[in-house]
Amino acid sequence: MKEAAYYNQLENKSVKCILCPHNCTIKEGKSGICRVRKNINGKLYSLTYEKIIAMHIDPIEKKPLYHFFPSARTLSIASPGCNFHCFNCQNHTISQIDENIFEFTKEFPPEEIVKIAMRENIQNITFTYTEPTIFFEYMLDTAKLAKAQGLYCSVVSNGFINRQPLTELIPYIDAANIDFKFKDNTLYRKVTGGFVEPVLETINTLYKAGVITEVTTLIIPELNDNENYFKETAQLLLKISDEIPWHLSAFYPTYKMIDYPSTDPSRLVELRQLALDLGFKYVYTGNILNLEGNTTYCPNCGEPLIERHYYNLKLTNLDGNKCPECGEKIYGKFQ
């Protein structure tokens, strides 16, 4: 447990957490929406500091990050909790929790996380699985130590974080994949408990700061797979940049949305083509077997540059970060 960053003390031992846009006012003895930032005697504490609920070595493509050192391994870590309550959360057993979850965590100081990565000859640490924002202090301290050792850091996030903590974090983050779930606040609030504007601001801030930024949108039948809705979603991202890689992932029934149908793979392929027609340079399909939708093509001449079979690379045909055929610069960092 560590005193939290980004909160204000109020009257009667209440506090206001200003880490994420929920800006929770928390009475003494209570926790915020995320359930892991608790007011103890008028001070806000992070209950997740050094508490690991999941740690795995993954291919970087699994995040998904397709434009950040393809085929590299990453040490993926998570603490429990989330500031969203998504009805379709595939990791709900570790994100939608109460304080009893800490019985199942293990303590890993930031120094130990970095040592594990170096011992395993892994050059990247990814904060993922749950929501890294809610273990901000732990993520920041780990990222600082990792960068000091020449390692890279990446984050997979819902993007629901206030500007000031994001600005503090950015110098230590090299890549990010942000979930952009819906274009409107009605669905954002209904399905996730959040709202859209801060997420778009996070994507814009990361991209303009030079962080390799990719975006994932889960395509859920009956919610956001309508063509007009999809076009409006696409336009919000295109206002930021046409070179941000966009991952369109298939939905499968889970958690509180088991009555919804799975995404038809053919629909995902259609929406990928629509996104390309709208002007995106890099669009991918996720959670389905689709070679074309997992291949990175040169946006100028169409040359296939990186072919993937799920998380495995089949072909790498890049000249540094340029297309070998036409010299087009490809967005990202490549080995």
Distance from C-alpha of 315 to C-alpha of 312, rounded to nearest angstrom = 9
32 CB contacts (<8 Å, ≥6 apart)? Answer: 17, 22, 24, 26, 38, 83
Reported as a single tens digit per residue, the pLDDT across 69-82 is 999 999 999 999 99
Q: Could you tell me the pLDDT band of residue 105, with boundaries at 50, 70 and 90?
A: very high
According to DSSP H, which parts of the chain are helical? 92-95, 110-119, 136-148, 163-169, 185-187, 196-208, 227-238, 265-278
pLDDT score of 316: 80
- What value does the mean pLDDT take over residues 274-291? 96
What is the three-class DSSP state of 225?
coil
**Across the beta sheet with 25-26, what order do the strands follow?**
7-9, 15-17, 25-26
**Chain centroid offset of residue 327 CA:** 30
How far apart CA 87 and CA 325 sit, in angstroms, is 45
Domain ranges of the chain: 2-46, 51-316
CB 119 within 8 A of CB 151: no
Mean pLDDT of 90-105: 87
Q: What is the mean pLDDT of residues 320-331?
A: 95
171-222 pLDDT, tens per residue?
999 999 999 999 999 999 999 999 999 999 999 999 999 999 999 999 999 9
User: Mean pLDDT for the chain?
Assistant: 96
What's the pLDDT at 5? Answer: 96
Residue whose structure tokens are 């690379």: 313
Residue 30: pLDDT band (50, 70, 90) is: very high
The DSSP annotation for 73-120 comes to EEEEEE-S--S---TT-TTHHHHS--GGGGGG-EE--HHHHHHHHHHT
What's the CA gap between 183 and 226, in Å, rounded?
Answer: 12
pLDDT at position 102 is 84
Q: Check if the beta carbon of residue 212 is closer than 8 Å to that of residue 72.
A: no
Query: Which is the CATH superfamily of the domain at 51-316?
Result: Aldolase class I (3.20.20.70)
Q: Mind listing the pLDDT tens digit for each residue in 109-125?
A: 999 999 999 999 999 99
d(CA 279, CA 226): 18
pLDDT of residue 330: 97
Q: Give the C-alpha separation, 295 to 290, whole Å.
A: 9
Taking the CA atoms of 246, 249, 254 and 260 in sequence, report the sign of the dihedral they define.
positive
Please state the rounded mean pLDDT for residues 231-243.
98
Please tell me the distance from the alpha carbon of residue 226 to that of residue 274, in angstroms, as a whole number: 12
pLDDT at residue 76 in the model: 98
pLDDT value, residue 156: 98
Task: List the structure tokens of 288.
Answer: 């389905």
At 11 the pLDDT is 94
What confidence score (pLDDT) does residue 66 get? Answer: 97
Q: What is the pLDDT of residue 62?
A: 95
pTM of the complete model beyond 0.75: yes
- Name which of 5-14, 189-198, 251-260, 302-311 the model is least confident about: 302-311
Yes or no: say if 218 and 192 are a contact pair by the CB < 8 Å rule: no
Residues 272, 182: Cα–Cα separation, whole Å: 16
